[in-house]
Structure 1
């Protein structure tokens, strides 16, 4: 099979399309022919090994000290099951699925083997493979943080980084939960975030939202561009500040201290990726409450170009890698 391989950390050019052996499966696994995958901001950081100094060694120990431990990148996928293990009960050959491969990665390839009990479920009937591949990381992350804020009908929510993968899902989920959404993004994305359900929009190139007089019940920074100290004055009493995938120890300390000493709360960290949330997201998609936003499509052999684009930090929603047409059984 064809797969993207990288044997060292570095710029996008370290990614090479190679012919490798098709994976085998254990009794509790399924073999998936991948039709679409993605390039996420996390994929870009991992490929370049761009981790803050405090986390550099732990990250290298986790993902590979001198070179990547898992040589095939990518964690989001949608495709078709071609083989099932003897103990698999909930999937069968021919099922169209989508999911998340986790820290085993391996999704930037024509085939992947995954456990039945992993973050994997049947594809929404109203989505293409390309649309479905762009769902798991952004949608589950947005759901995870909004739930932790105990989001309620009638609240006001500010979403910073509203046009990215997490942000576009956060707008739709916050709207679904009955809140009034204010979205912060650049000029070129204002109409996009309005179309997703934002009642108000703030163009960060023209206005500093942290100087606003309006206050919110929830502030969700999906891109790590704000600070809790700047946003705290924008929170209503008992309000919550959400910050996903933050790395700075000082941010954690300030959040911990505020949680001990004030009514306003800060919730930081990373999402718990799980099958239950993926099924919940699938149900919302099939009910017409949630959709994926795709900025660009690339073929598998142009994945370096996709990484170059994503690392610029201006993608709208998601970047998808199309693999259909390359697959051969």
Structure 2
């Protein structure tokens, strides 16, 4: 099969398309003929080894010290089930599915393998493969953090980094739960974030959200620049700080701060489940969760996809297409046009 492979850490030029063995299928395995995956911030970090302060050695245990442990990146996949193991009962060949591969990676290949007990679900019937795959990485990450907080209707939620893959998912999930959502992003993404359900948007290039008098029940930091010490005064009593990105001190001190302050401070997303993914699929089919797709690249252009993700300016998701079909129009462009009409 064709796969995007990297043999050393570094820049996008290290990722190349090569022929690799197709994964074998064990009794509990599902083999997916991948149609689409995403090139995420996690792929950027794994390839470049650019990780938050103090996390280099910890990251090395997962991605490798001197050479990559897993040479095919891609934490998610959308595709068609090619084969299943003898013990698999709830998924059958021919099913159209989306799946979270997680730290095992492998989505940037024509075939990917997951276990039936992993986060795998039938894709939304009203979405293309290009859009459906955007539910997985960002959606599951946002859901994993938000379900730890008390998201009662009317709760005040701030999403820092509201225009990225996790941020756009967090805005939508919080808004669907009845929260009053404030998004922090650049002015260029104001219309997008508002269209996803944010009642207010703060332009970080002209305003410092930490200098305001507003307080919040939940703060979701998808950027890594809102540590507890900087935003504690913004948290209401028993409020939650969800650290999607943090450094080693933030990771180690989170449980200590939770015990001492009465706030929930966490950098743990928890294990993604098939049930979590099914919730996202149900929301998408009901029209309560929209795909946010910046652009789509062919597998042959994988290095260019990495270069774009490296800029840190993507809106929502960057999709990687493993088939030869033409992509649907960018979901971001469609949504912006619809919002202005």
TM bin, normalised by shorter chain, reads over 0.9
Q: Which residues of 2 match residues 131-210 of structure 1 at below 5 A?
A: 131-210=131-210
Structure 2-normalised TM-score? 0.91
Q: Deviations over 1:209-258 (max 9, x none)?
A: 10001111111111212121221111222222211132231x24554443
Alpha-carbon distance in structure 2 between the residues aligned to 1:58 and 1:52: 11
Map of 2:338 onto structure 1: none
Q: CA deviation at 1:196?
A: 0.4
Q: Secondary structure at the match of 2:22?
A: coil
Map of 2:50 onto structure 1: 50
Contact 1:31/1:84, CA 8 A, preserved across alignment: yes
Residues 182-191 or 228-237, more deviating: 228-237
Q: CA deviation at 1:53?
A: 6.1
Map of 1:306 onto structure 2: 305
Give structure 1 stretches of 5+ with no counterpart.
none
Alpha-carbon distance in structure 2 between the residues aligned to 1:26 and 1:256: 38
Contact 1:31/1:114, CA 8 A, preserved across alignment: yes
Map of 1:101 onto structure 2: 101
Cα pair distance change 1:148/1:9, threshold 3 Å: same
Q: Deviations over 1:105-146 (max 9, x none)?
A: 111011122222222111111111011111111111111211
Give structure 2 stretches of 5+ with no counterpart.
326-341
The two structures, once aligned, show a CA RMSD in angstroms of 1.6
Contact 1:245/1:270, CA 8 A, preserved across alignment: no
Map of 1:269 onto structure 2: 268
Q: Secondary structure at the match of 2:324?
A: coil
Contact 1:35/1:324, CA 8 A, preserved across alignment: yes
Contact 1:232/1:264, CA 8 A, preserved across alignment: no
Contact 1:31/1:112, CA 8 A, preserved across alignment: yes
Map of 2:225 onto structure 1: 225
Map of 1:285 onto structure 2: 284
Structure 1-normalised TM-score? 0.94
Contact 1:126/1:286, CA 8 A, preserved across alignment: yes
The structure 1 segments of at least 4 consecutive aligned residues displaced by more than 4 Å after TM superposition are none
Map of 2:9 onto structure 1: 9
Map of 1:214 onto structure 2: 214
Q: CA deviation at 1:291?
A: 1.5
Q: CA deviation at 1:319?
A: 0.2
Is residue 247 from structure 1 mapped to residue 247 from structure 2 by the alignment?
yes
Is residue 81 from structure 1 mapped to residue 81 from structure 2 by the alignment?
yes
Residues 128-137 or 232-241, more deviating: 232-241
Q: Deviations over 1:12-70 (max 9, x none)?
A: 11101012222221122122111101100011000112235633223223322221111
Alpha-carbon distance in structure 2 between the residues aligned to 1:163 and 1:219: 15
Alpha-carbon distance in structure 2 between the residues aligned to 1:61 and 1:142: 24
Number of matched pairs: 325
Alpha-carbon distance in structure 2 between the residues aligned to 1:185 and 1:168: 11
Contact 2:227/2:246, CA 8 A, preserved across alignment: no
